[in-house]
Structure 1
């Protein structure tokens, strides 16, 4: 069970730090603070989260990966302590992470990589997923190589 709580703390800290530098942080901050405060002083927790976010943004601007890792480690340790102290916190954290994590690809998206090679292209190259009604060039005009072959 200890390994499961540690993995949950790692996942939680990673998500928390990711949220701190995202546009959704303002909405997430108070919910995260409630989780950490556990009925205690939520304002103090909000102040700590704000301080960590400012340090994280400064570390990002300075390209200081070590400082960013230190902030994540600090919150990972705090998460682990909360999880060890309160058995109900694990389910609460899982639920909170599910709500706050960015949406996961549902498998309907398509990843495309196209490469055009092999010589000269004598016409347009179109990349995409769905096309209909495409027309290129002048209507009724037959390319020379097709006109000669058709005669």
Structure 2
């Protein structure tokens, strides 16, 4: 059971940190504060979430991956403590670990590489436009 609790806490913390750096943070933070502050401490939790987010954003902006990982570790430890004290948190964390509204959030870590990254849940139509090129051998002909 301990391994399952640790995995759930890790998943919850990862989801939390991913939400902190996503466009969904505005909608997610109130929901997270309501769940994590269910004992009447919602405003305190909201302040803690915002403080953690500020540290995380500053760390990522400065390229400080270790500090960013610390933020996730701190939340993982906190979530694990909650799970150990009260098993009713399990259902709450499973809901939190599921991406809201069917949206997928990916947190990418590791080496920095230059290049294009495309993340998509579903692509229905794609239009790729390339500039027209004139053939040097025959200036009358245009290649698309």
Partner of 1:72: helix, strand, or coil? Answer: helix
Residue by residue, what CA displacement relative to the aligned partner does 1:45-68 show, whole Å, maximum 9, x if unpaired?
100000000111100110000100
Distance 1:89 1:59 in 2: 29
Shift in Å, 1:82: 1.0
Give the match for residue 47 of structure 2.
47
Give the match for residue 113 of structure 2.
none
Q: Which runs of 4+ in 1 moved over 4 A?
A: none
Superposed, which structure 2 residues align to 1:66-145 within 5 Å?
66-100=66-100, 102-103=103-104
Distance 1:58 1:20 in 2: 12
TM-score (norm 2): 0.69
Shift in Å, 1:27: 0.5
Return 5+ residue gaps in structure 1 as ranges: 111-122, 124-136, 139-151
Shift in Å, 1:16: 0.4
Quick check: which has more Rg, 1 or 2?
1
Give the match for residue 146 of structure 1.
none
Distance 2:123 2:24 in 1: 23
Return 5+ residue gaps in structure 2 as ranges: 106-119, 125-134, 136-140
Give the match for residue 20 of structure 2.
20
